[in-house]
Chain A
């Protein structure tokens, strides 16, 4: 280090007295300043930027009230919020995923009323078949809810009747006669709650989960924000078509161990998000072996199970465990009824576990994210209408496939290739040709252009922790066909602009 040399001069007495006093002073002053700034940043984050001018409908706090609150500060300083909250606030403000969501929420596209608004392609929600469910409710809604009376306090992990209905529904969705036991289910207000609950049950503060990357952009928050679990990335590469390799898994585990990180489990998403890959039977068995060898848990996030299509077969962990007597205790699966029924607003998640101790703890934790009684009544009625369910599954699947094919084909016409996908509500596109510079910076620059110039909210690969720059996730399941044309036109303009620059 360069500092050592002049200090050596001090020791050896060469012009040392001068440098000997200046350098340590300078260092001292520098460190003071550095730590003071860090402390300042840590303890009192800069005041929030003034709220943007409210559109028709102000999503931000009323300006007048905000101003009253922001100005007269108590002499002791602003009221403290936890380290956790500060981190959430910072991420919300800076992270592209959340910035994009916010912009799309504040300035949403509408064909007639807001044609220059932001088109939302960043949410992995499916509303393609929402109309079918709405029609059903319109025709049957009243009896569906009132027929059973408003419920008083009930088991907060879901009505048994609903669990039974779900046990009958999931095999229909997977198109296989798989057996689900209602007593192994905990129903939650959204799949995010199910992940949160498992994070609290399977690992302690500061422990880690292995997660193949690229992964869902919301995982960082879902897993870390409350339970404080670290994610150890298991990178998948385009050269492998982003498929998971057990070698990579092993390597990541060992490296984590060397760093002193305690790995408590692995979270796999199948079909994967954002790439849409299915894990085959052999890989699933390898994962079970791996987990057994390391004595860790497996969380199988199967929230996109019903969207699996194409030539490859969707294999659920439940199928694997039907054969394996051992190791069931370490496996926990998550489903999303809102995804399967194309009603993202319903927020219904299913935690399915073979571990009785986990179920006991999870049932207690379900109190913090329990499902609304009328929503449960409604779902019981819908799911019991097996004819409707059958028809729905068919139509929904067709619409998903059609939208996927259309979207990917049109991207291809623009020169943008996507990895082949077997499921999910999105496609994984290689936009590296449009990057001004190859790297994370270039990727974020493109993301910014897409959001603020083209006005489409897509998710950059870096938000998914993809190690290769230039990949973007496009969610297309909240679009109409007309919307797709608009999206493509906007991308074409960006593409043309980029080409004309080079």
Chain B
């Protein structure tokens, strides 16, 4: 008798599992692949792809290392766990997180804002990263099928964080270079109407301040306009301020928290701030994010649902120690800002000397570069063609504006804080050669 080979039944997965709403098939992530396959190394692979598509902060890493070496008791918890109050532990079990950690985070956030805003530790809900914080807020503020309004260009990861598992839509608030990509009341209204025309309920506006990918802070007057808009429409405002500590000049950053405090928290219950230590402190591996909400219900609900995205007590203890050391945090914030500013100036100068202009920026780990003069065609396809050339010929991974949903082709986000100064020079050199080649080619072509 022959062997019967039973055809296995193919068991199905969910729609979410098989969909590509996670957006990870976009060029933003494809560029990473090119880098993974051939990563640049100063010594061992000097002709590899230089990673300029990852917004990671390595410029002040040495300060962290030094701190941890000098304060090794932080890593072993030192006084931490054993003497941690029994009440603190009890609350920890109910997902409040350690009070010492929340207090340290709150005070760090206050320091970054030059003490111009106060943060209550009990309004902080902790999550495993800002990615989780944004997703959790979306679950809480919107139903599947509802929409959040997000100004373009925006961080490509939002497509995944805000939409994938939540079933919520993103309706873009279109911004363009005519006014340096600032958000206008007309654009806000336009986006709201667009959602209405699709029979979609708008639940909130989500801004990133300073902006990713623009690398620029939102002006006070614009923030006030946005607040007025969300109040009028009775919707929420989420302000993702994860780059707040990376603004080169502290006086140029205005947090929505300051505006609310100045008006005695009127209408504050619709405002929620997201923060993380991944960018400012260069600790992406720690997975530390927070939701700060002025809305009691959102706080208690987010806290209850933080069970899905937790931070270990050990990490909380370590950070509580570090962040409550005011001398260290003050030194770190100051030094980090300075180093980022220098980096920024270096890249802007380097690009300008090759005739490439960038949007005037004042914060973040990247600059918003205008390569539209180099496009063959001023279209999305033209932009992707140029991007392909940059990846494969120039061997730089930068992020095309279309992956950030920018309505104008030719803009690119270039990260400068995740490499050494030498590497940055190499990158600028490569860009110079590339631009020269194009210009010569155009001249030659033109003369025929």
Contacts and interface: CB of A to CB of B under 8 A. Distances in A.
Given A82-B139, A108-B86, A142-B76, A62 B120 contact: yes
B11 A330 contact: yes
Interface string A208-223: 0000000000100110
Interface in A371-409: 371-375, 378
Contacts of B294: 69
Given A203-B14, A373-B285, 14 more contacts: A57-B99, A65-B265, A79-B295, A82-B146, A108-B89, A153-B284, A200-B16, A200-B165, A218-B307, A326-B6, A357-B13, A368-B161, A368-B308, A369-B309
Most B C-beta atoms less than 10 A away, residue of A144, A189, A205, A371: A189
Contacts of B132: 368-369
Most chain A beta-carbon neighbours within 10 Å: one of B90, B94, B96 = B90
Interface stretch (B296-304, B336-344, B374-382): B296-304
B22 A364 contact: yes
A192 B300 contact: no
A79 B235 contact: yes
A231 B241 CA distance: 38
Interface of B: 6, 8-18, 22, 24, 54, 56, 58, 61, 64-65, 68-69, 72, 75-77, 81-82, 85-94, 96, 99, 120, 122-123, 128-129, 131-132, 135, 139-144, 146, 160-161, 165, 167, 203, 231, 234-236, 264-270, 283-288, 294-301, 304-305, 307-315, 318, 418
Nearest to B146: A82
A151 B284 CA distance: 8
Given A76-B234, A346-B312, A105 B300 contact: no
Interface string A107-122: 0101001100000100
B143 A83 contact: yes
A487 interface: no
B9 A80 contact: no
A85 B140 contact: yes
A310 interface: no
Given A57-B88, A89-B300, A150 B283 contact: yes
Contact of B93 (A57, A123, A348): A123
25 contacts: A57-B91, A79-B295, A82-B143, A108-B86, A108-B90, A146-B69, A201-B14, A205-B167, A225-B308, A226-B139, A295-B12, A297-B11, A326-B6, A330-B11, A344-B93, A346-B313, A347-B312, A364-B22, A365-B165, A369-B308, A371-B128, A371-B287, A372-B285, A372-B314, A375-B312
Contact of B58 (A152, A207, A375): A152
Contacts of A370: 128-129, 287
Nearest to B24: A364
B17 A200 contact: yes
B227 to A, nearest CB: 12
**Shortest 3 CB-CB distances between A and B: which pairs?**
A373-B285, A141-B76, A108-B90
A292 interface: yes
Contacts of B161: 368
Contacts of A154: 285
Interface stretch (A21-29, A96-104, A462-470): A96-104
Nearest to A125: B93
A80 B267 contact: no
A375 B315 contact: yes
A61 B268 CA distance: 15
A43 interface: no
Contacts of A138: 76-77
Given A152-B58, A153-B284, A88 B9 contact: no
A65 B61 CA distance: 37
A81 B90 contact: no
A340 interface: no
A85 B297 contact: yes
Contacts of A329: 8, 10-11
Contact of A151 (B6, B72, B285): B285
B128 A369 contact: yes
A369 B310 contact: yes
> Counting chain A CB atoms within 10 Å of each CB, which of B69, B93, B120, B140 scores highest?
B93
A367 interface: yes
B47 to A, nearest CB: 23
B267 A345 contact: no
A419 interface: no
Given A57-B87, A85-B301, A201-B13, A357 B18 contact: yes
Contact of B81 (A114, A134, A221): A134
Contacts, number: 286
A348 B313 CA distance: 11
A327 interface: yes
B75 A61 contact: no
B304 A98 contact: yes
A326 B308 CA distance: 32
A291 B301 CA distance: 35
Interface string A410-439: 000000000000000000000000000000
A113 B86 contact: yes
A196 B68 contact: no
A137 B54 CA distance: 34
Given A72-B266, A82-B142, A225 B305 contact: yes
A190 interface: yes
Given A105-B91, A120-B93, A369-B128, A81 B298 contact: yes
Contacts of B24: 364
B96 A59 contact: yes
Interface residues of A, number: 104
A357 B17 contact: yes
A372 B315 contact: yes
A4 interface: no
A348 B287 CA distance: 13
Given A92-B301, A146-B68, A80 B54 contact: no
A192 B305 CA distance: 10
Given A345-B312, A358-B17, A370-B128, A137 B76 contact: yes
A58 B231 CA distance: 31
Contacts of A66: 296
B14 A202 contact: yes
A153 B56 contact: yes
A113 B91 CA distance: 16
A427 to B, nearest CB: 20
A53 interface: no
Contacts of B56: 152-153
A326 B418 CA distance: 46
B314 A77 contact: no
B231 A61 contact: no
A11 to B, nearest CB: 43
Nearest to A48: B296
Interface in A82-96: 82-85, 88-89, 92
A358 B17 CA distance: 7
Given A74-B234, A102-B94, A79 B286 contact: no
Contacts of A152: 56, 58, 284-285, 418
B234 A80 contact: yes
Interface string A124-157: 0100000000100110011011100111111000
Nearest to B270: A79
A192 B121 CA distance: 25
A181 B171 CA distance: 42
A66 B235 CA distance: 20
Contacts of A364: 22, 24, 160
B86 A110 contact: yes
A70 B267 CA distance: 10
Contact of A84 (B61, B85, B87, B143): B143
Interface in A18-62: 48, 55-62
Nearest to B165: A200
A151 B283 CA distance: 8
B54 A153 contact: yes
- Max chain B Cβ within 10 angstroms of own Cβ: one of A59, A62, A149: A59
A453 B72 CA distance: 46
A105 B299 contact: no
Contact of B203 (A80, A88, A369): A80
